[in-house]
Structure 1
Amino acid sequence: MSKIDSFLARRRIAYFSMEIALSPAIHTYSGGLGVLAGDVARSCADLDLPVVFVTLLSESGYLRQEIDAAGRQVEHADPWNPAQHAVPLEAMVAVEIEGRRVWIRPWLYVLTCPLGNTVPVILLDTDIQQNAESDRLLTDRLYGGDLAYRIKQEIVLGIGGERILRALGFTIFKYHLNEGHAAFLALSLLKSYRRRTNTWGGSLLYEVDPVRDLCIFTTHTPVEAGHDRFPYDLVQGTLGDFIELEQLKLLAGEQELNMTRLALNLSGFVNGVARRHSETAQRMFPGYTIRAITNGVHAPTWTHPKFAEKFEAAAPGWSHEPEILARIDELPDEPIWAAHAAAKHELVAKVAELTGAAMDPERPILAFARRMTGYKRPDLLFTDLGELTRIAAERPFQIVMAGKAHPNDAEGKRLIEVVHRHIGALEGKVAVAFLPNYDFALARYLVAGADIWLNTPMPPLEASGTSGMKAAINGVLNFSVLDGWWVEACTEGVTGWAIGKDHETGSDSAAELYEKLGNTVLPLWYDDRPRWIWMMKQSISKIGSYFNTQRMMRRYATEAYLG
Structure 2
Amino acid sequence: MSLSNALAKTSPDLTSRSIAYFSMEIALSPSVPTYSGGLGMLAGDTLRSAADTCRPMVAISLTHRRGYFRQILDAQGQQTEADVPWSPETTLPSANKVISLTMQGRQVLVRAWRFDVVGVTGHVIPVFLLDTDVEGNDEWDRRLTDHLYGGDTYYRLCQETVLGLGGVALLRALDCKPSVYHMNEGHAALLSIGLLEEHLAGNPLREAQEIDLEAVRRQCVFTTHTPVPAGHDQFGLDQMYQVLGHDRGAAIEHAGCLHNGLMNMTYIALRFSRYVNGVAMQHGKVSQLMFPDYKVHSITNGVHAGTWVSPHFQELLDAEISNWRTDNQYFRSVYGIDPARISACHFKGKQRLFDVLAKRTGHHFNPSVLTLGFARRVATYKRASLLLEDPARLVAIAEKIGGLQILYAGKAHPADGAGKSLIRDVYAAAARLNSSALKIHYLENYDWELGALLTQGVDVWVNTPRRPYEASGTSGMKAALNGVPSLSVLDGWWIEGCAENVTGWAIEDAETEAAEAANLYEKLEKHIAPMYANPAAWSRMQQHCIAINGSFFNTHRMLAQYVCNAYFPFPRLADAASPSVPVNEPAVQTLLNEPALA
Q: TM-score range by the shorter chain?
A: over 0.9
User: Which position in structure 1 is the counterpart of 2:395?
Assistant: 389
Superposition map of 1:87-102 within 5 A: 87-102=93-108
Cα distance between partner residues in 2 of 1:270 and 1:99: 32
Q: Which stretch of structure 1 is more off in the superposition, 338-347 or 236-245? A: 236-245
Aligned partner (choices 399, 402, 408) of residue 401 of structure 1: 408
User: Which position in structure 1 is the counterpart of 2:63?
Assistant: 57
1:152 to 2:158 alignment: yes
- Where 1:441 maps in the other structure, the secondary structure is helix
- Where 1:417 maps in the other structure, the secondary structure is helix
Structure 2 CA distance for partners of 1:298 and 1:251, relative to 1, 3 Å: same
Residue pair 1:329, 1:540 contacting (<8 A) in 2 also: no
1:534 Cα shift? 0.6
1:447 to 2:455 alignment: yes
Aligned partner (choices 551, 567, 577) of residue 561 of structure 1: 567
Structure 2 CA distance for partners of 1:156 and 1:201, relative to 1, 3 Å: closer
User: Which position in structure 1 is the counterpart of 2:424?
Assistant: 417
In structure 1, stretches of 5+ residues that fail to align are none
Residue pair 1:329, 1:534 contacting (<8 A) in 2 also: no
Cα distance between partner residues in 1 of 2:392 and 2:511: 24
User: Which position in structure 2 is the counterpart of 1:466?
Assistant: 474
1:200 Cα shift? 5.0
- Where 2:248 maps in the other structure, the secondary structure is coil
Identity %: 44
Structure 2 CA distance for partners of 1:342 and 1:113, relative to 1, 3 Å: same
Residue pair 1:354, 1:435 contacting (<8 A) in 2 also: no
Letter in 1 for 2:446: Y
User: Which position in structure 2 is the counterpart of 1:296?
Assistant: 302
Residue pair 1:251, 1:265 contacting (<8 A) in 2 also: yes
Structure 2 CA distance for partners of 1:457 and 1:441, relative to 1, 3 Å: same
Residue pair 2:196, 2:205 contacting (<8 A) in 1 also: no
Superposition map of 1:265-304 within 5 A: 265-304=271-310
TM-score normalized by the length of structure 1: 0.96
- Where 2:148 maps in the other structure, the secondary structure is coil
- Where 2:97 maps in the other structure, the secondary structure is coil
Cα distance between partner residues in 2 of 1:515 and 1:2: 54
Q: Which stretch of structure 1 is more off in the superposition, 420-429 or 403-412? A: 420-429
User: Which position in structure 2 is the counterpart of 1:547?
Assistant: 553
1:75 to 2:74 alignment: no
User: Which position in structure 2 is the counterpart of 1:370?
Assistant: 376
Cα distance between partner residues in 2 of 1:430 and 1:7: 57
Aligned partner (choices 109, 114, 129) of residue 108 of structure 1: 114
Structure 2 CA distance for partners of 1:313 and 1:144, relative to 1, 3 Å: same
Aligned partner (choices 250, 253, 262) of residue 256 of structure 1: 262
Compute the RMSD of aligned alpha carbons. Answer: 1.6
Cα distance between partner residues in 1 of 2:415 and 2:340: 47
Residue pair 1:138, 1:153 contacting (<8 A) in 2 also: yes
1:114 Cα shift? 2.3
Cα distance between partner residues in 1 of 2:17 and 2:239: 35
1:218 to 2:243 alignment: no
Cα distance between partner residues in 2 of 1:405 and 1:247: 33
User: Which position in structure 2 is the counterpart of 1:231?
Assistant: 236
Question: For each residue in 1:15-42, what CA deviation from the matched residue of structure 2 results, as whole angstroms up to 9, or x when unmatched?
Answer: 0000000110010000000000000110
Cα distance between partner residues in 2 of 1:24 and 1:217: 27
Question: For each residue in 1:371-397, what CA deviation from the matched residue of structure 2 results, as whole angstroms up to 9, or x when unmatched?
Answer: 011111111111111111111110111
1:244 Cα shift? 4.5
User: Which position in structure 2 is the counterpart of 1:192?
Assistant: 198
- Where 1:6 maps in the other structure, the secondary structure is coil
1:241 to 2:254 alignment: no
Cα distance between partner residues in 1 of 2:185 and 2:406: 33
Cα distance between partner residues in 1 of 2:141 and 2:43: 26
1:468 Cα shift? 0.3
Residue pair 1:104, 1:125 contacting (<8 A) in 2 also: yes
Residue pair 1:452, 1:479 contacting (<8 A) in 2 also: yes
User: Which position in structure 1 is the counterpart of 2:362?
Assistant: 356
1:287 Cα shift? 1.5
Cα distance between partner residues in 2 of 1:261 and 1:477: 37
1:311 Cα shift? 1.6
Letter in 2 for 1:519: K
Question: For each residue in 1:107-159, what CA deviation from the matched residue of structure 2 results, as whole angstroms up to 9, or x when unmatched?
Answer: 11111122211110001000111111111110011111111111010001001
Residue pair 1:351, 1:433 contacting (<8 A) in 2 also: no
Letter in 2 for 1:454: V
Cα distance between partner residues in 2 of 1:289 and 1:122: 31
Letter in 2 for 1:386: A
Q: Which stretch of structure 1 is more off in the superposition, 273-282 or 64-73? A: 64-73
User: Which position in structure 2 is the counterpart of 1:336?
Assistant: 342
User: Which position in structure 2 is the counterpart of 1:26?
Assistant: 32
TM-score normalized by the length of structure 2: 0.91
Residue pair 1:272, 1:294 contacting (<8 A) in 2 also: yes
User: Which position in structure 1 is the counterpart of 2:576?
Assistant: none
1:512 to 2:519 alignment: yes
In structure 2, stretches of 5+ residues that fail to align are 1-6, 570-598
Letter in 2 for 1:426: L
User: Which position in structure 1 is the counterpart of 2:577?
Assistant: none
Cα distance between partner residues in 1 of 2:61 and 2:568: 23
Cα distance between partner residues in 2 of 1:247 and 1:400: 47
Residue pair 1:204, 1:247 contacting (<8 A) in 2 also: no
- Where 1:531 maps in the other structure, the secondary structure is helix
Residue pair 2:205, 2:248 contacting (<8 A) in 1 also: no
User: Which position in structure 2 is the counterpart of 1:493?
Assistant: 501
User: Which position in structure 1 is the counterpart of 2:586?
Assistant: none
Structure 2 CA distance for partners of 1:407 and 1:148, relative to 1, 3 Å: same
Question: For each residue in 1:250-272, what CA deviation from the matched residue of structure 2 results, as whole angstroms up to 9, or x when unmatched?
Answer: 12325001111110010001111
Letter in 1 for 2:245: G
Aligned partner (choices 466, 480, 483) of residue 475 of structure 1: 483
User: Which position in structure 2 is the counterpart of 1:538?
Assistant: 544
1:66 Cα shift? 0.8
Letter in 2 for 1:235: M
1:184 Cα shift? 0.6
User: Which position in structure 1 is the counterpart of 2:47?
Assistant: 41
Residue pair 1:85, 1:109 contacting (<8 A) in 2 also: no
Structure 2 CA distance for partners of 1:41 and 1:505, relative to 1, 3 Å: farther
Cα distance between partner residues in 2 of 1:199 and 1:128: 29
1:506 Cα shift? 4.3
Question: For each residue in 1:289-336, what CA deviation from the matched residue of structure 2 results, as whole angstroms up to 9, or x when unmatched?
Answer: 111110001111100111112222222211111101111123212211
Task: Tell me the matched-pair count.
Answer: 559
1:427 Cα shift? 2.0
Cα distance between partner residues in 2 of 1:6 and 1:117: 9
Letter in 2 for 1:474: N
1:120 to 2:100 alignment: no
